[in-house]
Structure 1
Amino acid sequence: MTTASTAIPVTGESAYDVIVGRGLLATLHDRIPLTAAKALIVHAPTLGAVAESLREALAGRVEVLLAEVPDAEAAKRVEVAAFCWQVMGQTDFTRTDVVIGLGGGATTDLAGFVAATWLRGVPLIQVPTTVLGMVDAAVGGKTGINTAEGKNLVGAFYAPRVVLADLDLLGTLPQNEILAGFAEVAKCGFIADPVILDLLEADVTVATDPSSEVFRELVERAIAVKARVVSEDFTEQGQREILNYGHTLGHAIEHAERYRWRHGAAIAIGMVYVAELAHLAGSLSAEAVDRHRRILASLTLPTGYPLGRWKTLLATMQRDKKARAGMLRFIVLDDIARPRVLNGTDESMLFAAYQEVGE
């Protein structure tokens, strides 16, 4: 049963809405482009039953093809993208047909990349099924796959037709998965919307309960932050970089852990690291750093990483897509909701900040 939904607009050259509500899967039928004869649903293994139900629901509208892909970051490999391309090629998938990404952030990243690259671009609908997917991965048009050298080094900016954030899909999500996704919600609080932090500090249990109105407000606020930034800078030429807060070290940790860690856990450590870095640079107060630690710890997210891994992490960060001419660049804060770029930092200071998170 559908309830009142909220449409959060992403404006710009490729405008679309992120719809937040309940029972939104029932409206997918009406979102399919009128020109589409086929729909490829790219889905994670755990969503096979949902994908089958969608096949039945859409049967009178389009021919539905299902592409089950590996769970989590294992989906974001060129071999998996090639499997999806093979399905499309063997079924004469045309430029007017539609790809539907059904799953968490890795699934929507992959589905978006497949849509962006098949025939140089086919219609895309994103249906994120995790907190991370709803507030981050499926919003903003970043698509990509990983390589042996790093995360998201191959990809494209490609906007979906619509994003359906159906909160009912979160009902069976494990609590640790919800909490990991809240790293990105907290990030939006740190870089742009302090009310998010206030709501998390007021009652983290209610805030992370998918059935609560506070939960919905937090999801909508986080999406609104990303939508606003992406609307102004779709291809990350400037302001959009603030969305990478905590991600430079976080992605290096994910790579070091061979993507067995949840994204939110790695990003939590990355946020504490850049908070410590900003404090050493004289721009962020000790209290603001402590606030990072308190909020992330309340979400049961890690805030430290083994000290002896620094050299490995540094080497990976130097290959990060945000680096320029071999120079590392970090998003830091001058205060809560006052982000900026810090570049050209001496390696000794980078290591000093890492010592504050080293275990």
Structure 2
Amino acid sequence: MATLRVELGERSYPIYIAPRLLEQSSPLAQHIKSKRVCVISNDIVFPLYGEKLLAALTDFQVDYLVLPDGEQEKSLANFDRIMSHMLEHGHGRDSTLIAFGGGVIGDITGFAAACYQRGVEFIQIPTTLLSQVDSSVGGKTAINHPLGKNMVGAFYQPNAVLIDITSLNTLPAREFAAGMAEVIKYGILGDAEFFTWLEEHKAGIKAQEPELLQQVIARCCQCKADIVAEDEKEAGKRALLNLGHTFGHAIEAEQGYGVWLHGEAVAAGMVIASTLSVERGLLLAPELRRIEQLIAYFDLPTTSPSDMGLDAYLKHMKRDKKNVAGQLRFVLPTGIGSSEVVGDVTIEELKQLLD
């Protein structure tokens, strides 16, 4: 088992990474401080692994709520379903919520934990590659709004993150590819050595060799843990983790949540941001080609939707959470392994880039 730690003082917590982790009750049980537990999952994950999770919770009083799968389900309506379920089952402030699923379940459960009776403890058990390497770590919780992704949420840290890489055995190929977009992101934004390592081991990673997957997940979690420890609430360096997301979130919202997977939209967004960097003289053209080639190798899109031009992007990007005083801000790579936030991109630049 690999064990990492997110260092946040009194709110620090561990990340456990191992195969067959759900079959071990100890790592989970030690982070539940009361007898009451509520599991939130979805109708894909729970039928596959719910029995194993419940078997690890036999010492607790457990109930569960199974939500429909899909990005469109990260909604106010399902947030209300969680609140109602908790109230109907008599949960109090000493209850623990467990998020058991991908990024959608992790985000909405974390937000519910932040809000229920002004805050209850929760644990992340991510089951998709994307949630294991990114969204389960760092305490960003949210639900979507029709006008923008993750617009209603809170920074709220879990008690622990438990990553069972065995759950990836049943992950659809498209979902695995979507997770690789976030993996590649870490290499581009701040870890050139990791990017090169991904290029060298891409065949084994695509074949989902367990030892390589564990290394990938641990490297990404360590990178994110280090950044979160330095900048928990995205006042500075943490904004770099949004590489590709300004364009990507616009694609998701414009196409309709779930039409493009989050990772697919981020992949296209990273290529757009990298192209802008080349045009600004921040990134070398050969580096852009390496980025495009690695993204394409994992069956991810390298171009944006053909029906989206400047206006379609702008209406969503104007609501981006990184904006300051109405000024659009973008994370741009300045080389493979480095990036920066810029706030002087002009509308004319975007027009040439997107139209």
Q: Scaled by the length of structure 2, what TM-score is found?
A: 0.95
- C-alpha contact (below 8 Å) 1:280/1:349 kept by paired residues: no
Q: Which residue of 1 aligns with 2:174?
A: 176
- C-alpha contact (below 8 Å) 2:22/2:52 kept by paired residues: no
- C-alpha contact (below 8 Å) 1:179/1:300 kept by paired residues: yes
Shift of 1:22: 1.2
The superposition leaves residues 100-126 of structure 1 with CA deviations (integer Å, 9 ceiling, x where unpaired) of 000011111111111111011111110
CA distance in 2, matches of 1:74, 1:302: 21
Q: Which residue of 2 aligns with 1:12?
A: 8
- C-alpha contact (below 8 Å) 2:28/2:162 kept by paired residues: no
CA distance in 1, matches of 2:8, 2:92: 26
Shift of 1:344: 2.4
The farther-off stretch of 24-33 and 147-156 is 24-33
Q: Is it true that 1:22 corresponds to 2:19 in the alignment?
A: yes
The superposition leaves residues 109-152 of structure 1 with CA deviations (integer Å, 9 ceiling, x where unpaired) of 11111111101111111000000010011011000000011000
One-letter code aligned to 1:164: L
CA distance in 2, matches of 1:201, 1:53: 35
Q: Which residue of 2 aligns with 1:294?
A: 293
Shift of 1:230: 0.6
Aligned 1:187-336 pairs, distance under 5 A = 187-259=185-257, 260-310=259-309, 311-336=311-336
Secondary structure of the 2:161 match is strand
Shift of 1:200: 2.5
CA distance in 1, matches of 2:26, 2:121: 14
Shift of 1:308: 4.3
Q: Which residue of 1 aligns with 2:40?
A: 42
CA distance in 1, matches of 2:276, 2:319: 20
One-letter code aligned to 2:37: A
CA distance in 2, matches of 1:77, 1:209: 34
One-letter code aligned to 1:21: A
Secondary structure of the 2:170 match is coil
CA distance in 2, matches of 1:56, 1:190: 40
Inter-CA distance 176–308: structure 2 relative to 1 (3 Å threshold): closer
Q: Which residue of 1 aligns with 2:347?
A: 347
Inter-CA distance 34–48: structure 2 relative to 1 (3 Å threshold): closer
CA distance in 2, matches of 1:304, 1:30: 42
Shift of 1:309: 1.3
Identity %: 35
- C-alpha contact (below 8 Å) 2:334/2:340 kept by paired residues: yes
The farther-off stretch of 21-30 and 340-349 is 21-30
Shift of 1:29: 5.1
The superposition leaves residues 213-259 of structure 1 with CA deviations (integer Å, 9 ceiling, x where unpaired) of 22221111111111110111111111100000000000000011111
Shift of 1:272: 0.5
- C-alpha contact (below 8 Å) 1:29/1:58 kept by paired residues: no
Inter-CA distance 6–29: structure 2 relative to 1 (3 Å threshold): closer
Aligned 1:49-128 pairs, distance under 5 A = 49=47, 50-59=49-58, 61-128=59-126
Shift of 1:91: 1.5
CA RMSD of aligned residues (A): 1.5
Shift of 1:307: 4.7
CA distance in 2, matches of 1:212, 1:93: 38
The farther-off stretch of 164-173 and 190-199 is 190-199
CA distance in 2, matches of 1:257, 1:143: 22
Q: Scaled by the length of structure 1, what TM-score is found?
A: 0.94
Secondary structure of the 1:309 match is coil
Inter-CA distance 28–281: structure 2 relative to 1 (3 Å threshold): farther
The superposition leaves residues 279-331 of structure 1 with CA deviations (integer Å, 9 ceiling, x where unpaired) of 11221111111111111011110011245412111111111111122211001
The superposition leaves residues 4-50 of structure 1 with CA deviations (integer Å, 9 ceiling, x where unpaired) of x1111110232111111112113345533454121111001012232
Shift of 1:353: 2.4
One-letter code aligned to 2:300: L
CA distance in 2, matches of 1:28, 1:316: 44
What residue ranges of structure 2 are gaps of 5+ in the alignment? none
Shift of 1:54: 2.3
